[in-house]
Amino acid sequence: MERAAVRATTAEARIRSRTDGLERALAPFGSGAVGGEEFVRAERVLDDCEFGAEFVPAEFGGRLERIDGLGRVVRPALRRDLSLGFGYGLNCFFAATPVWTAGNTAQREWTAALLLGGGRMAVARPAVAHANDFVRDEFALRRDGGRRRLDGAKTAVCNYARARGLTVVAGTEDGTHEILLIDREILPEGALRTLHRYRTVGLDGIEFGGLEFSDCPVPDEAVVGEPGRGMPLVVRCSVVTRALLPSVYVAAADTMLRTAVRFAVEHKDQDPYGPLRSPYGREVLTGALLDLLVSDSVALAAARGIHLLPDRVSACAAAAAYTVPKLLQDSAHDLSTVLGEAYFDSKGRYGAFGRMVRDLPLLGQGHAGTAARQAMLVAQLPHLARDSWLVDDQPPAGLLRPWEDLPPADLGALAAAGTSDPVVPVLQDCAGADGELGELGAAFLGELRQLRERFARMEPGAGLSAPDTLALTDRYALVCAAAASLGVWREHRGARPGTFLADPAWITGALHRLGVLLGLDVPKAPHEAVEQRLFDAVLERYEQRRSYDLYETCLEAS
């Protein structure tokens, strides 16, 4: 796989090469959930593919060149099992993100060597107001003379037992936080104790368990970033987390849609009123495709924005992480009606569907959960409404062109709160289109104007105390998703004519679907020709073994 990647001349070609290589390597495991001994073998396959190199920037010997590329490369593992792609993969990257963002050269080189050598990392995040019992406990860092000492326990840490590198966020005696990079193999005896495994119903392939520090010495060189500035660093790193998490949901949604289509195709002769023939069934399948494309569009904007607009991307990333789970979990509920009683057969041919439905909610727990994303949006939207919306220029074309290479990401330049909104200006450019698409664009632009009026009237700091804030935040997230989708269509129409993403059918269907969710004054249903084109696309991608996301990746197993 690596030799093929080296021959590629652009980052985009290298990403496609590695994604295809992982699809081939994981093909023996099928396209459904991986469990038991198969899970162990799948991890060994990822080891053989040097999967850890995906989480190390190229400047330190790894393969990471683009954040959106990382979100794509992990999808072959995620499509088969969320525990495989998230526990083995993305969680290690999230643990390393503070080091790539603010670590010194020695910390970055040590982290790179660990991941390139197949080692694992774990992150123990702080307790915050929006957390639940799953992540509420935290560590405490105290001064003992001139030395730091770490105490405390956390109940549920991913990769708790096998991670050599530990990224620990600890509260200090003066009320601040430090981020610490700890090598567990050099700790003195008794300083760190591994507690029992925390059994979860979902993501059961991931090892969640407890860690307890007791009077653990912490050298000065373990502190990542500026001393006492750990929490601002955590918040900045959360922008990267929010930009990548939608890829987890997109990969799972791909498997769920493919499983539902497989069931429908394999039972079409047994039920003359089945989902391939009934209007409702066809609507569910095409709606799932549209939800997936919309979700991947806003995920694309968030991930590429980290490279192109690090000081502006925060709201887009929070909106992506907030609305994608909602869209795709609702879509999964609709798809479950296609499977009928097969939905409950967790170990059968269609069992991957139920497993994905079971695993996804656990990803919304704790530090990166729904409340955190809402709070991040609420803190920014009044400012954006007053100073950015309907004022800013169009974003750079590369923001929504997945085939274009990007400058290296400067994670140190990330802003916790963006100075402007990078995506919604697309609505102004597309609202003047002809026909139904122009009407839909104008409806969303009108919604943005209303949101601007409502948010602009909010007092600074009012936040969640305003009774309608959460509902307005929901509406903004859908408008942001619509703008990102319009931008993806616009860029493909201009630079990639003839492709499916340049076809007005999908964007017309997507905007109609989002407009209905928002209660906008839109046509009751897309034109019949649009619905037929979308339904044909669902079946074509299934039959040709191509993914349902923006990239139409060739799947080795379907």
What is the 3-state secondary structure of 476-526? HHHHHHHHHHHHHHHHHHHHCCCCHHHCHHHHHHHHHHHHHHHCCCCCCCC
Q: Kindly tell me if the per-residue pLDDT of 136 is higher than 70.
A: no
b/e per residue 437-465 (b: at least 16 CB within 10 A): bebbbbbbbebbeebbebbeebeeeeeee
d(CA 31, CA 197) in angstroms, rounded, equals 28
Closest alpha carbon to 244 in 331, 135, 317: 317
Question: What's the confidence (pLDDT) of residue 37?
Answer: 80
3-class secondary structure, 171: strand
Query: What are the structural domain ranges in the chain?
Result: 2-119, 123-228, 233-403+416-543
Per residue in 245-282, pLDDT tens? 999 999 999 999 999 999 999 988 777 667 888 999 99
Closest alpha carbon to 308 in 219, 212, 441, 400: 400
d(CA 336, CA 373) in angstroms, rounded, equals 27
Give the DSSP per-residue string, 281-328: HHHHHHHHHHHHHHHHHHHHHHHHHHHH-TTT-HHHHHHHHHHHHHHH
* 2-119 shares its CATH topology with 123-228: no
Q: Kindly tell me if the per-residue pLDDT of 535 is higher than 90.
A: yes
Closest alpha carbon to 510 in 331, 247, 363: 331
Chain-centre distance for alpha carbon 49 = 22
141's enclosing H/E stretch is: strand 139-144
Phi, psi of 118 (to 5 degrees): 90, 10
Q: Alpha helices of 362-468 — where are they, by DSSP H?
A: 370-387, 425-430, 435-456
In degrees, to the nearest 5, what angle opens at C-alpha 289 toward C-alphas 285 and 292? 135
3-class secondary structure, 99: helix
Tokens of 516: 């209905």
Per residue in 287-310, pLDDT tens? 999 999 999 999 999 999 999 999
Structural contact between residues 309 and 395, judged by C-beta atoms closer than 8 angstroms: yes
Q: In percent, how much of the chain has pLDDT > 70?
A: 92
The CATH number assigned to the domain with range 123-228 reads 2.40.110.10
Q: In percent, how much of the chain has pLDDT > 90?
A: 70
Q: Kindly tell me if the per-residue pLDDT of 432 is higher than 90.
A: no
Assign 3-class secondary structure to 116-185: HCCCCEEEECCCCCCCCCCCCCCEEEEEECCEEEEEEEEEEEECCCCCCEEEEEEEECCCCEEEEEEEHH
Question: What's the confidence (pLDDT) of residue 5?
Answer: 38
Closest alpha carbon to 96 in 23, 177, 165, 173: 165
Structural contact between residues 353 and 334, judged by C-beta atoms closer than 8 angstroms: no
Structural contact between residues 17 and 1, judged by C-beta atoms closer than 8 angstroms: yes
In degrees, to the nearest 5, what angle opens at C-alpha 300 toward C-alphas 24 and 66? 65
Q: Kindly tell me if the per-residue pLDDT of 49 is higher than 80.
A: yes
Rounded to an integer, the average pLDDT of 67-83 is: 95
3-class secondary structure, 212: strand
Its CATH architecture, for the domain 2-119, is Orthogonal Bundle (1.10)
Per residue in 444-495, pLDDT tens? 999 999 999 999 988 766 655 566 888 899 999 999 999 999 999 999 999 9
Closest alpha carbon to 400 in 513, 511, 313, 463: 313
Tokens of 271: 């039920």
Q: What is the pTM of this model?
A: 0.93
d(CA 276, CA 420) in angstroms, rounded, equals 45
Tokens of 507: 């964007």
**Amino acid letter at 315?**
A
Paired with 14 in beta bridges are: none
- Label residue 127 by pLDDT band (50, 70, 90): low
- Helix-strand-coil percent breakdown of the chain, rounded to 5? 60, 10, 30
d(CA 131, CA 326) in angstroms, rounded, equals 19
Closest alpha carbon to 543 in 552, 469, 466, 394: 552
Q: Kindly tell me if the per-residue pLDDT of 558 is higher than 70.
A: no
Phi, psi of 462 (to 5 degrees): -65, -45
> Pairing between strand 147-158 and 208-218?
antiparallel
> Pairing between strand 139-144 and 165-172?
parallel
Q: Kindly tell me if the per-residue pLDDT of 430 is higher than 50.
A: yes
d(CA 7, CA 269) in angstroms, rounded, equals 47
